[in-house]
Amino acid sequence: MKVERELPPGEARELLELTVEIADKELAPRAAQFEEEGRFPREVFGLLGEAGLLTLPFGEDVGGGGQPYAVYLQVLEELAARWAGVAVGVSVHTLSCHPVSVFGSAAQRQALLPWQLSGAALGAYCLSEEHAGSDPSAIRAGAARDGEAWVARGAKAWVTHGGEADFYTAFLRTSEDPRNGISCFHVDARSPGLSAGAPERKMGLRSSTTAVMHFDDVRVPGDRLIGEPGQGLKIALSALDAGRLGIAAVAVGIAQAALNHAVDYARERRTFGRRIIEHQGVGFLLADMAARTEAARATYLVAARRKDAGQAFGRQASMAKLIATDTAMAVTTDAVQVLGGAGYVREHPVERYMREAKITQIFEGTNQIQRMVISRHLADS
């Protein structure tokens, strides 16, 4: 099923067509094997970088694509519909570039962003720790001044691209102040003392490497502090608002892929002399899946358009992340049900979509955290 999209005039439609072409030719044929083997597809990110798809929402003056967030997210959705692990990687790279783009000094933007957005570099985002997932204020990994530089010690958990990235956007404690004691750093992957643990063995997104990053007296130059000392929590939360929209788009892509496969199967599979899509029990199930997917897409686009207009969008981003990821879980579960026993085996991709959907409800802030964010907005409105 081709998605009908509302796009701004100009190059956006051509960009989406290019994305679909690349996704169909380069991503879809590789996805199942790479996921099965748990193999990180660095060459795929290279292809996307060459096509300009790693840098879309950043300004052209620093090497970005200059695209509205609403367009970037629809590109992300199309990638996710073929290979969710790669789409998550694009979203994480965008998240990792956000601090320098928004909070970096003019010198940092000039020195770092063109390389980050070159298409050849890949970023990672180091925020969570084993004891500090939903509560980033509990971060313990720290950095202490040493002359003009900083020395970082500790470990960061659940790092997407851990051990594979070219740079790490790391949030480290620089004072004991509970709210203003965390700072943001750009850390080069080649820094002595920086190392990755063994990749996590995950339920889904197996091609997307996730690992603990160890900071063993890693020396970070003073000009790699992003923003002011103690501003890290503000930077992290700002980046997460945008990152949640990325995950919402990925979730919708997973849901759309599951819906497409279920519809194709239901058109071909026959029981009791009819295609199963003509049985009301299946047809209504597919109708609900389609409605939920369309609604989730509309929700993330509303939030994205607010962001593009310079309006506050944090509440809408949490709503989009909550609705889209719950939708992905429901739609992929129903897709397995439509296929019956065939949906439970690996010959069909819906079992993979179901496994991939689950993590979208957890990372970039669990859906319980999204409900907390939304309820706080309601209390303060």
Looking at the annotation, which residues are catalytic?
364
117 with 54: CB under 8 angstroms? yes
